[in-house]
A = this chain, B = another copy of it.
């Protein structure tokens, strides 16, 4: 029923994102540049949830001359090109994650203790949300749902707690 999705599950799918971005650029007459390639690589190599500054730091390891503004501009382009989605969890920093591909939408469970983010999909919840919207006289377009929780078995948590 409830399906957890580990950060690794979608790794194979990321392979063609280079192509997706490339053709996006071409279609708009935009250019492939060294910095855009480096930034995309950094994004692909990173975990599922990253913020601009993390990427900027990562990118600077390869080329320290790349500016924060370029990272922001490029992340926005990737969002426009449907590679990434922008999320606002905590409040301040925006975080980016890979866009869902077709049907593979998911929601998030965030551990209050260690900050671990688990992605999941639950058909019952999805269905009930549509019903609820209809009951209220609306047609559901999409939703945002985050469950805040704490570990039952502490094993998952403790690893991260120390960091």
Contact = CB atoms under 8 A, between A and B. Distances in A.
Contact of A147 (B109, B111, B132, B156): B132
A148 B141 contact: yes
A153 B136 CA distance: 11
Q: How large is the interface on A (under 10, 10 to 19, 20 to 34, 35 or more residues)?
A: 35 or more
- Copies of this chain assembled into the complex: 2
Interface in A117-136: 118, 120, 122, 124-125, 128-129, 131-136
A144 B143 contact: no
Contacts of A151: 137-139
A73 interface: no
Interface of A: 1-2, 4, 88, 91, 94, 109, 111-112, 118, 120, 122, 124-125, 128-129, 131-153, 156
28 contacts: A2-B131, A2-B132, A2-B135, A2-B136, A88-B88, A91-B94, A109-B132, A109-B133, A109-B138, A111-B138, A118-B136, A118-B138, A120-B136, A125-B132, A128-B128, A132-B147, A136-B149, A138-B149, A139-B149, A139-B150, A139-B151, A140-B148, A141-B150, A143-B146, A144-B146, A144-B148, A145-B145, A145-B146
